[in-house]
Amino acid sequence: MKTGSINRAVIVGIFIFLGIAIFVTGVFTLGSERKTFASSITVKVIFQDVGGLQEGNNVWLSGVKIGTVKKIRFQTNTEVEVQLNIDKDIKSHITKDAKAKVGSDGFIGNKIVVIYGGTPAAAGIADGDSLASEQSVGMEDLMASLQKNSVNLIDITGDLKVISKRIRDGQGTIGQLINDPAIASNLRATMGHFRKTSVSSERAVAKINEYIDGLNTEGTLVNQLMTDTTAFAKFRETLEQLKAASYSISAFAENLKQAGLSLHRTDNPAGAILNDSVMAADLKTITRNLNTSSQKLDEDLKALQSNFLFKGYFKNQEKERKKQEKERAKEQNKKRDSL
């Protein structure tokens, strides 16, 4: 009987010990999870909306858990103060200009506080410091945005439906292109012309390239003009002379034009001769008189030559003329012999 009581007491003691061990292990495990027994500092953050954040939720920095949410309380009607327990060993990695926002552990997981940002030049946080907050996008905002986008998508699909119906019915330029065979045929013909034009353009470009290559061929006139400075200077001088000659020709042509215009007027002798009928008649009369006078003068000269008083004079003139002709003939013969 005593042996059974002892065994029962031992078994109960073992169960009690195991229970105490499990309890202690659980306490230390939960304490380690929530950083209960770790040395920590308290940091405050003011949020406009915590989005379902609760006390005991985790605090993350660069994807690493560094603390928990200690307390949540209203500061004003529109502001919520969140106190964070942060591991004291991590405070050197968080600067005073860092920011905090409410996030999610996964897409639909528990709410967490995410600390991010900060510059290395700023000082590290201390116990009791406050961090700036940034409003994060919640599921409600995402759903509202999705709803708005769905409405816009419905409008866009409705417009596409109307446009596709118009195209199918042959309305508009695209509808005519798709449904009218005549326009399609004309478009194909136009494309054929474009292809021919492109081929012609390629040939023209090829000829231009050949011409340019010819400019670089030594010995050609263009190459000499481009490379020989002396030839180019002469060519430029010739152009200047041609330019001066063109000015002279222009001036001469202008003078001829003015002279031609003056011939149509009667305020000058030539114009009067050409346009005044009375003067023309007088000139004809004078010409007839001169012809008559020259004939009479010839008759008088012949009469004088036959007159015995002037025969000696005319004979001497004839001898002198023959003498001069003989002297000129002798000089020409001497020149011919010297050659």
Closest C-alpha among 79, 82, 80, 81 to residue 69? 82
CA angle 66, 70, 71 (to 5 degrees): 145
CA distances from 293 to 285, 287, 288, 296, 301 (A): 12, 10, 9, 5, 12
Diameter over CA atoms, the chain: 217
122 belongs to a structural domain: yes
56 belongs to a structural domain: yes
Confidence of residue 140 (pLDDT cuts 50, 70, 90): low
Looking at the fold, whether 24 and 84 belong to one and the same domain comes out as no
Looking at the fold, whether 121 and 48 belong to one and the same domain comes out as yes
At 271 the pLDDT is: 64
Asked whether the predicted pLDDT for residue 95 surpasses 80, the reply is yes
Looking at the fold, whether 113 and 100 belong to one and the same domain comes out as yes
79 belongs to a structural domain: yes
Residue 116: CB partners within 8 Å, gap ≥ 6? 61, 62, 98, 99, 100, 101
Q: What is the pLDDT of residues 3-20, one digit of tens each?
A: 666 677 777 778 787 888
CA distances from 297 to 291, 300, 309, 315 (A): 10, 5, 18, 20
Rounded to an integer, the average pLDDT of 182-210 is 79
Q: Which has the higher per-residue pLDDT, 38 or 159? A: 159
111 belongs to a structural domain: yes
The whole-chain average pLDDT of the chain stands at 77
Question: Which residues pair with residue 41 across a beta bridge?
Answer: 86
Confidence of residue 45 (pLDDT cuts 50, 70, 90): very high
Could you say which DSSP state residue 95 is in? B
Looking at the fold, whether 102 and 131 belong to one and the same domain comes out as yes
At 59 the pLDDT is: 92
Q: What are phi and psi of 78, to 5 degrees?
A: -120, 0
Single out the residue in 136, 161, 192 at which a domain terminates.
Answer: 136
Could you say which DSSP state residue 91 is in? G
Q: Which of 147-161, 180-194, 208-222, 322-336 has the lowest mean pLDDT?
A: 208-222
235 belongs to a structural domain: no
183 belongs to a structural domain: no
Looking at the fold, whether 47 and 77 belong to one and the same domain comes out as yes
Single out the residue in 136, 164, 191 at which a domain terminates.
Answer: 136
Rounded to an integer, the average pLDDT of 216-226 is 64
Looking at the fold, whether 52 and 117 belong to one and the same domain comes out as yes
324 belongs to a structural domain: no
Rounded to an integer, the average pLDDT of 84-112 is 85
Contact 82, 75 (CB under 8 A): no
Rounded to an integer, the average pLDDT of 240-260 is 79
Start-to-end Cα distance in the chain: 182
Q: What is the pLDDT of residues 265-308, one digit of tens each?
A: 666 666 666 666 766 677 778 777 777 777 776 766 666 666 65
Looking at the fold, whether 98 and 14 belong to one and the same domain comes out as no
At 257 the pLDDT is: 76
CA distances from 118 to 6, 58, 131, 132 (A): 66, 20, 10, 11
Looking at the fold, whether 74 and 120 belong to one and the same domain comes out as yes
Q: How big, in percent rounded to 5, are the helix, strand and coil portions of the chain?
A: 65, 15, 20
At 314 the pLDDT is: 65
Q: What is the pLDDT of residues 58-70, one digit of tens each?
A: 999 988 898 999 9
Closest C-alpha among 40, 36, 66, 69 to residue 52? 69
Looking at the fold, whether 131 and 99 belong to one and the same domain comes out as yes
Q: Which has the higher per-residue pLDDT, 71 or 36? A: 71
**Max mean pLDDT range (58-67, 128-137, 235-244):** 58-67
Single out the residue in 136, 167, 189 at which a domain terminates.
Answer: 136
Confidence of residue 81 (pLDDT cuts 50, 70, 90): very high
Contact 187, 180 (CB under 8 A): no
Looking at the fold, whether 63 and 131 belong to one and the same domain comes out as yes
Contact 90, 39 (CB under 8 A): no
- How many whole angstroms separate alpha carbon 52 and alpha carbon 57? 10
Q: Domain count of the chain?
A: 2
Looking at the fold, whether 20 and 62 belong to one and the same domain comes out as no
Confidence of residue 1 (pLDDT cuts 50, 70, 90): very low
**Containing domain of residue 52, as a range?**
39-136
For 21, counting Cβ atoms within 10 Å of its Cβ (0-12 exposed, 13-18 middle, 19+ buried), the class is exposed
Looking at the fold, whether 10 and 70 belong to one and the same domain comes out as no
Asked whether the predicted pLDDT for residue 224 surpasses 70, the reply is no
Confidence of residue 250 (pLDDT cuts 50, 70, 90): confident
161 belongs to a structural domain: no
Rounded to an integer, the average pLDDT of 72-93 is 88
- How many whole angstroms separate alpha carbon 102 and alpha carbon 134? 8
